[in-house]
Amino acid sequence: MYLLLDIGNSRSKGMLASRTGQMTPVELSAASFDRTAIEAVYYAAVAGQDKVQALKKQLQLHDKPWRQIESEAARFGVQNCYSQPHLLGVDRWLAMLGSHWLMPKQDLLVVDAGTAVTLDWLSTDAVHQGGWILPGLKLQQQSVVQKTAKVFNADTHQARLQPGGDTVACLQNGCLAAVVGAISQAWQLQPMQQVLLTGGDARLLLPYLKNYPVQLEPNLLFYGLSRFIDS
Ligand SMILES: Nc1ncnc2c1ncn2[C@@H]1O[C@H](COP(=O)(O)OP(=O)(O)O)[C@@H](O)[C@H]1O
Ligand SMILES: CC(C)(COP(=O)(O)O)[C@@H](O)C(=O)NCCC(=O)O
Ligand SMILES: [K+]
């Protein structure tokens, strides 16, 4: 059994993966799984090393091999278009490696709606065509609230793609429109056969993307990460 870790800017997620490729989500605490069954930990971190160290301590897996996955120029037939490949966020890289594993013969628009929203175009021959980074839904709302005197938000999310009638609705609807609008703009610029949607806000965005061939893939990053097991 292997432990896969996605250490993001908002939260860390864990998955247990068997040699046969079976995956089970796991809570990240030392008590939530059988530590003796873990052969190795494969992890990807866009967050700082402090978060990685804290997690290492928390999981009490010091005696196991920890393998950090980083962005590369090419891997498993997928090509990174950055001139400095290691600077591409490893979550974006893994989402592309996962997408390519899932749909190897299609061109894809990979959308990761996390703390930041990222969009990446991947051609049929698995060449990264570049992408976009924009603030995620929560981050957009927080930055408006923080940098203005009179805009406030509510704890509940009721965003809709329509004009708002009060401050909270204007803020939430506006930020939803910005993210949905970016995906729509990406599609207009370069349509692809499939849009693969992942990240913490993926489910929330899905109803607004009915005009596109969208597939929700919450585990895209883990599909990418699991390709490294024993490789
Ligand atoms: N339990 C949660 N904790 C934090 N963010 C959440 C949670 N559930 C949904 N979200 C949403 O998910 C987004 C973060 O997505 P996620 O993929 O977890 O980010 P990251 O990979 O950057 O850590 C936030 O914008 C937030 O709106
Ligand atoms: C853009 C990101 C912050 C997204 O991370 P996330 O919101 O999923 O935590 C991350 O992919 C990152 O730190 N990228 C490095 C810069 C780049 O991709 O060019
Ligand atoms: K993201």
pLDDT reported for residue 184: 98
Residue from 118, 119, 132, 137 to probe ligand 2 pocket by mutation (most atoms less than 8 Å from CB): 118
Whether 21 has a pLDDT exceeding 90, the answer reads: no
End-to-end CA distance of the chain: 15
What tokens were used for 37?
A: 């069954």
Q: What is the mean pLDDT of residues 192-199?
A: 98
Q: Which region holds residue 168: left if phi is over 0, alpha if psi is between -120 and 50, else beta?
A: alpha
Q: What is the mean pLDDT of residues 104-132?
A: 98
- What ipTM was reported for this prediction? 0.97
pLDDT reported for residue 192: 96
Whether 19 has a pLDDT exceeding 90, the answer reads: no
Q: How far apart are CA 82 and CA 75, in angstroms?
A: 14
- For residue 91, give the ligand nearest its CA: 2
Pocket around ligand 1 at a 6 A CB cut-off: 8-11, 114-115, 136-138, 199-201
Spatial contact of 204 and 115, defined as CB atoms under 8 Å apart: no
Give tens-digit pLDDT for 207-217.
999 999 999 99
User: What is the fold of 74-225?
Assistant: Nucleotidyltransferase; domain 5 (3.30.420)
Give tens-digit pLDDT for 128-187.
999 999 999 999 999 999 999 999 999 998 999 999 999 999 999 999 999 999 999 999
Whether 26 has a pLDDT exceeding 90, the answer reads: yes
